[in-house]
């Protein structure tokens, strides 16, 4: 065999091995959560702020049934349809058998217990900033919710998006590192609002425009709105360049769903309001204060 062919085979093998290594799922260090005890009462606040039920409740669930996280809601995107899985306390079909490190890997690193990448349709890219204690408290609260013996449904995705290994490259290229808005003079209230908006509430997942080819958020136009991922309508710009509401009006909207013009929240935003209405008034005011510090996009 000619030497050039041997060299080519060697290059291909090295490139393949390097790519496999670079795209491997990276897990959390369990030591980050060692010694922390869960407070389910605090975990309930984390649960509502993070909007877990909004995506993982059964389609059309109302009232107390929203706490039954049986999954099944369908989310259509330009890359295919994602179906929310069962994350109830059922040990077979849900996550009732998950440990704290297993939940941390899923929520903060986007890695399943089987070692596969989760798609960024699950907002782990925002949740990765979650405090370790909040994650532990959330784990404790999830264990108190009803079990649902409903099998999770597979996503409806075309090739090549069915190949999860490629998500390792997406993480390397686009996963967020640190805060998006990080001026040195944020007040404690604004810092709390940033944590709620950028991490737990994952506001940027819907309100920040995305690259049409990669689906990566354009953080240079943070919260500037854009086409809805479903292809129907637009998500509004909530930077000061378009949203001229006062902090009081923003906080009131997050509690009641009514705008200053007496319009009302609809669609998925109505679920967000229902979640934020369960939080302390200080949290809603903190989010409003943070939004006033976001660079305006017109």
pTM: 0.92
Residue 290: which region, alpha, beta or left (left: phi > 0; alpha: psi -120 to 50)? alpha
Dihedral of alpha carbons 261, 52, 180, 228, sign: negative
Q: How many CA atoms lie within 13 A of 50 on its CB side?
A: 30
- pLDDT reported for residue 82: 97
| pLDDT recorded at residue 228 | 86
Question: Both tokens of residue 160?
Answer: 């090549």
Report pLDDT for 12.
47
Long-range contacts of 219-224 (CB under 8 A, 24+ apart): 219/176, 219/180, 221/297, 222/180, 222/181, 222/294, 222/295, 222/297, 223/291, 223/294, 223/297, 224/297
Residue 159, pLDDT score = 85
130, 58 in Cβ contact below 8 A? no
Residues (pLDDT < 50) of the chain are: 8, 10-15
């Amino acid at each position: 065999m000619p030497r050039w062919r041997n060299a080519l085979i060697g290059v291909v093998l090295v490139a393949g091995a390097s790519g496999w290594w670079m795209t491997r799922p990276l897990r959390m260090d369990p030591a980050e959560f060692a010694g922390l005890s869960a407070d389910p009462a605090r975990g309930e606040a984390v649960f509502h702020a993070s909007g877990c039920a909004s995506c993982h409740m059964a389609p059309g669930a109302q009232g107390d049934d929203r706490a039954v996280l049986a999954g099944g809601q369908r989310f259509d995107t330009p890359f295919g349809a994602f179906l929310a899985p069962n994350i109830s306390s059922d040990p077979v079909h849900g996550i009732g058998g998950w440990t704290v490190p297993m939940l941390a890997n899923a929520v903060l690193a986007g890695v399943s217990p089987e070692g596969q990448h989760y798609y960024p349709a699950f907002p782990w890219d925002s949740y990765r900033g979650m405090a370790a204690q909040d994650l532990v408290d959330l784990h404790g609260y999830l264990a108190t919710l009803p079990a649902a013996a409903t099998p999770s449904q597979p996503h409806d995705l075309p090739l090549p998006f069915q190949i999860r290994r490629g998500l390792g490259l997406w993480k390397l290229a686009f996963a967020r590192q640190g805060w998006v808005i990080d001026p040195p003079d944020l007040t404690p209230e604004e810092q709390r609002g940033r944590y709620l908006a950028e991490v737990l509430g994952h506001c940027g997942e819907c309100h920040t425009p995305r690259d049409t080819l990669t689906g990566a958020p354009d953080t240079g136009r943070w919260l500037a709105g854009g086409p809805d991922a479903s292809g129907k309508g637009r998500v509004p710009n909530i930077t000061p360049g378009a949203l001229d509401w006062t902090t009081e009006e923003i906080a009131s909207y997050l509690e009641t769903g009514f705008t200053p013009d007496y319009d009302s929240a609809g669609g998925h935003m109505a679920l967000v309001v229902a979640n934020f209405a369960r939080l302390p008034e200080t949290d809603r005011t903190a989010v409003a204060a943070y939004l006033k510090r976001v660079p305006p996009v017109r």
